[in-house]
Amino acid sequence: MSETNRPDSPRATFEAGKVYKVETICARADAQSAEYALRLLKRKLEMVIAHHAEGLTLDLCCATGAHLLDLADFIRPAIGIDFSVPFVRKAADDAAAAGHSDLRFLVGDAKALPLTDGSIATAYCFSSLYVIPDVHQVIDELARVLRPGGRAILDLGNARSLNAYCVRHYPDLARQHFQTRGAMRKMVQNAGLAIVEQRAFQILPLWADRPGWLWPLLHPRWKRILATRVGGRMLDEWISNLPFLRSLAFRQMIVCEKPVRKD
């Protein structure tokens, strides 16, 4: 059975529409929200803006395009690519309704992007790479389509985190393909990209309630505590990036750059 046709493959799981629904797959950022997930999303969008370069921006695995809509005042033109036809259709409809004619959306394979070499100035991918098998092929493709000096912001899941352990107790989720921090960095470097920055988040899962014996670390109160802002950032970010803890935090945001060749 091919990966695409597996009942637990990303395509099969997403298209079943039971967990990953068109209406809820993609959240809009809310700067005023006290909710951890929305504060984390705001922080990820800030990283994209900080590393953005003039030119075409790619939202890879864009789902229904909410992140590009949130970034539209800062980043245009842009293109979103996702394998799900319903997601892309909703993204295109929402962009048109908002009057953003310079946001385009395509159905495509992350391992074979329908883009020419060196055509992208900035790329990012949120909360998707860890459900793609052989993710190194996706990173290779991003390296191909990035122009020299272009940057990609990659959201990867740490195999040595508490979150990775909890996911095993949720069979309805798409099959996960987590990596160690060392493996992540090696994939990026093997693709010919240089690592500019790496930030860690989610020292605790902050969404799970299984397995039950981990209840003291899975209690909802941790979301409120770790979402607290200290010095302009969430307490979770400060804790997750401590030298002795960052290798255990789940979400690893890696900013990488395609080097400029010197002839």
- The pLDDT tens digits along the chain (263 residues) read 334 444 444 554 545 455 678 988 998 888 789 999 999 999 999 999 999 999 999 999 999 999 999 999 999 899 999 999 999 999 999 999 999 999 999 999 999 999 999 999 999 999 999 999 999 999 999 999 999 999 999 999 999 999 999 999 999 898 999 999 999 999 999 999 999 999 999 999 999 999 999 999 999 999 999 999 999 999 999 999 999 999 999 999 999 999 998 76
Beta strand residue intervals within 85-133, DSSP E: 103-107, 120-125
Give the pLDDT confidence score for residue 11 in this predicted structure: 53
Give the pLDDT confidence score for residue 19 in this predicted structure: 62
Give the pLDDT confidence score for residue 61 in this predicted structure: 97
Give the pLDDT confidence score for residue 191 in this predicted structure: 98
Q: Find the farthest-apart pair of alpha carbons in the chain and give their distance in angstroms, rounded.
A: 59
Give the pLDDT confidence score for residue 20 in this predicted structure: 77
Give the pLDDT confidence score for residue 230 in this predicted structure: 96
Taking a C-beta distance cutoff of 8 angstroms, is the pair 202, 251 a contact?
A: yes
Q: Going by C-beta distance under 8 Å and a sequence separation of 6 or more, which residues neighbour residue 239?
A: 203, 226, 245
Q: Which position has the token pair 């493959």?
A: 9
User: Strand, coil or helix: what is 193?
Assistant: coil
Taking a C-beta distance cutoff of 8 angstroms, is the pair 224, 33 a contact?
A: no
Tokens (6 digits) for 183: 């493996």
Q: Which among 222, 221, 210 is positioned nearest to 166, based on CA atoms?
A: 210
Tokens (6 digits) for 164: 């990775």
Sign of the torsion formed by the C-alpha atoms of 196, 206, 246 and 156:
negative
Give the pLDDT confidence score for residue 262 in this predicted structure: 78
Give the pLDDT confidence score for residue 6 in this predicted structure: 43
Give the helix/strand (H/E) hosting 41.
helix 36-51
Q: Which among 182, 180, 177, 193 is positioned nearest to 139, based on CA atoms?
A: 193
pTM higher than the cut 0.95: no
**Rounded-to-integer distance, Cα 184 and Cα 194, Å:** 12
Give the pLDDT confidence score for residue 16 in this predicted structure: 45
